[in-house]
A and B are shown apart, each in its own frame.
Chain A
Amino acid sequence: ELKVEQNPLFLSMQEGKNYTIYCNYSTTSDRLYWYRQDPGKSLESLFVLLSNGAVKQEGRLMASLDTKARLSTLHITAAVHDLSATYFCAVDPLMDSNYQLIWGAGTKLIIKP
């Protein structure tokens, strides 16, 4: 069974701290996506990682992909309250399309002022 596991599922942290969310997956793939979802809102695309060793950064967020370890990380640097949201990773097990992505359960991140 194809699985995508995120941890932690819930994270409460103080502003200014650094932390990492992990996304492990059980199938061969070099296509991984990170999304953000605010409460009651749509999912917003953050990063698309398309190769082993890919690293992308946007503001205080940085995502990386290690296809050999089947692991992606989302690192948060000097967290600010506005980053509070639920973060999802999703893996494309087919590697040639993106319509049957397998999704993690999400990591709910709360950043306290």
Chain B
Amino acid sequence: GAGVSQSPSNKVTEKGKDVELRCDPISGHTALYWYRQSLGQGLEFLIYFQGNSAPDKSGLPSDRFSAERTGGSVSTLTIQRTQQEDSAVYLCASSLGPSTGNTIYFGEGSWLTVV
């Protein structure tokens, strides 16, 4: 597609379960980002991938969170043993590269609710 695609769009899971969130960036975009947005809050950086370089994982809130990007394209964010505080919208974004001035394009997000 033309934009950043995320799935699932909505996910309700029980506390303690694992979830996987998928992101398909815009074709040709080497930079891929995951952000988290809690209700009424700004965006919280989670992780950044640039080409084949090692990802910047400095924003991941705990070791229950991990992400990978296969073949420099699709990315999966995994949350293990989910907790209620993990409930948020998880936004994926991509851009042509990390250089300042490149527009970051966002997907519509995966709305995660942990019950």
Which residues of A pack against B, CB within 8 Å?
4, 31, 33, 35, 40-45, 48, 50, 88, 90, 92, 95-101, 103-106
Given contacts A88-B43, A99-B45, A101-B45, contact A45 B104 (CB under 8 A): yes
A-B contact count (CB 8 A): 69
Give the interface SS of chain A, mostly helix, strand, loop or mixed.
Answer: loop
State whether A103 and B50 are in contact (beta carbons under 8 Å apart), knowing that A31-B100, A42-B107 are contacts in the complex.
Answer: no
User: Of B43, B93, B98, B105, which is within 8 A of A97 by CB?
Assistant: B98
The list of the 3 closest CB pairs from A to B, nearest first, reads A103-B42, A99-B48, A97-B98
Q: What are 18 of the A-B contact pairs (CB < 8 Å)?
A: A31-B101, A33-B104, A40-B108, A42-B91, A42-B109, A43-B43, A45-B104, A48-B103, A50-B100, A90-B42, A92-B100, A97-B99, A98-B102, A99-B45, A99-B98, A103-B42, A103-B43, A105-B41
Cβ contacts under 8 Å, A88 to chain B:
42-43
Closest to A50 in B: B101
Contact of A43 among B56, B58, B59, B106 (CB under 8 A): B106
Q: Which B-chain residue is minimally distant from A106 (CB atoms)?
A: B42
Give the Cβ gap from A39 to chain B, nearest Cβ, in Å.
Answer: 11
Tell me, yes or no, whether B31 is within 8 Å of chain A by CB. Answer: yes
Q: Kindly provide the distance from the CB of B96 to the nearest chain A CB, expressed in whole angstroms.
A: 11
Minimum Cβ distance to chain A for residue B17 (Å) = 24
B71 interfacial by beta-carbon distance below 8 Å: no
Residues of B within 8 A of A92 (CB): 100
**What is the minimal beta-carbon distance from B28 to any residue of chain A, in angstroms?**
17
Name B23-52 residues within 8 Å CB distance of A: 31, 33, 40-45, 48, 50
Contacts of B98 in A (CB 8 A): 97-99
Complex CA–CA separation, A61 to B62 (angstroms): 39
Cβ–Cβ contact A90 & B33, under 8 A = no
